[in-house]
Amino acid sequence: MNLFRLCFAVAIASAIAAVYASTHAAPAPTKSSKAADARCHVGAYRLDDGRVVSVMPSDDPSKLRWRLLDGRTGKLVRENGAWISTRGWTGQPDGIRVAFGTCNQSRIRFDGLRGRKIGFDIAETRFDSHGLSLRGRLVLPRGHDKVPVVVLVHGSEKVSGVDAYFQQNLFPSQGVGVFVYDKRGTGGSEGKFSKDFDLLSDDAVAALAEARRLGGTRISRIGLHGSSQGGWVAPLAASKTPLAQFVMVVFGLADGVQSEDRDQVAADLRAAGFGDADTLAKARRVSDATGLLAASKGQRGWDELDALRAQYQHEPWWQALKGEYTGDVVQRRRGDDLMRIAMLDSDVSWTYDPMPVLRKLTQPQMWILGGDDAEAPSQETQLRLSRLAAEGRPIEGAVFPQADHGILEFETDASGERLHTRMAEGYIPLQLDWIKHGKLGGERYGRAVRLPVSH
């Protein structure tokens, strides 16, 4: 999610970007040509053995990323006319050979198997929200059969969902339609990029209505699918419209925005060897103060932080403070220009409490969480969802115990950094089954454990 860090980076990003661009920019014609050639290969391909491989843009327009339904994935980089695949996000060669036909041929050769691009029924559209024109796309399996449809609600990333989200070709290949859109201030949509949940949920409601209009009688049921920050936005949107028939949240939180930092601070301290109750209680006081600063845009909380700094800064755990933003904030002083700019730039819904919305929703909800999520620790969310389910709310959940944010599996290198290797096995089939049937089958979904989870 990195909400605060996104805001904090704004203060210095422009200058850094200008210097970087002047010294690192690739020749424009070559890069543009590679990107255009890569884009024509984007889509879903059915292989000779019946499996489907999705190909989408990567972090660079000239690179691609493939994904399989079982969660395996790799990055494709073109070198000397050949596509080189690396495992997950590790940068390590995976030995998988990938080749494409010409742009007109719509063919792939993947790990020794031939495949052809799958055709979908695609409708490009623009729709209005609060006077802004937003770009959207509905992708349905080809034909006339009724299918369920999910509207993908963005996380905090500032990217084009229409260009980047892999679900729009992998899900329709399995009989689930997808409506994807660029949230305000991204891609082809108008407006200023925002982190205001109320505003973003209004945009999601408008996207849902547009998907419903375009899909018409082909839609069997339709709901919202929120990832990360979208885990706050999607349920809020569902509370505003009867059109939403279900809600799915993946790697989101059923706690407030400030809890993300609070729980990360505690997790980071435990990892650094400072997990005793006394230290964690002291750190909680610090994160409460930095949270007050964040929520008030730097207007309140300095007195509390100054007092805590004077009391604790010489204790060994102080230097291990990290979290979403606390580790940055404790290094700053009242009147710091960078702090002031970062705070004033932020429109994050710092004080949003998701529980009243979750408690009142009547639509079925499915939550999928990573049990080892370093960015949005899920333990408190698991407890809250379990309590809501026990109260009779229509909530189901599943936890992938060894998964990080994004439901990504990982290895840890010698320096302690996580190297993400793949999406967890079972993660995509679990989503598809629940979206299609409103419940999970009896089979196992990789290592997923159903809520409630014992702690």
pLDDT (tens digit per residue) in 101-116:
999 999 999 999 999 9
Cβ neighbours around 109 below 10 Å, total: 17
Query: 91: which residues sit within 8 A by CB, 6+ positions away?
Result: 75
Residue 331: how many other CB atoms lie within 10 Å: 11
Question: What pLDDT shows up at residue 8?
Answer: 45
Nearest to 283 by CA among 347, 329, 215, 252: 329
- Pick the closest to residue 152 from 184, 172, 178, 125 (CA basis): 178
Q: What is the bridge-based pairing of β-strands 82-87 and 73-79?
A: antiparallel
pLDDT for 12: 35
Tell me which residue has tokens 């408690």.
359
Nearest-angstrom CA–CA distance, 455 and 451: 11
Six-digit token string for 1: 């999610």
Name the region of 374 (left: φ>0; alpha: ψ -120 to 50; beta: rest): alpha
Query: Which segments in the chain show pLDDT lower than 50?
Result: 4, 6-29, 341, 344-345, 455
Q: What is the pLDDT of residue 114?
A: 98
Phi/psi of residue 86, nearest 5 degrees = -125, 150
Helix axes 3-24, 257-271, angle to 10 degrees: 80
- pLDDT value for 336: 66
Q: What sign does the dihedral 126-185-150-391 (CA atoms) show?
A: negative
Which residues lie below 8 Å from residue 449, measured CB to CB, with a gap of 6+? 371, 398, 399, 400, 401
pTM for the full predicted model: 0.84
Pick left, alpha or beta for residue 392 (phi over 0 → left; psi -120 to 50 → alpha; otherwise beta): left
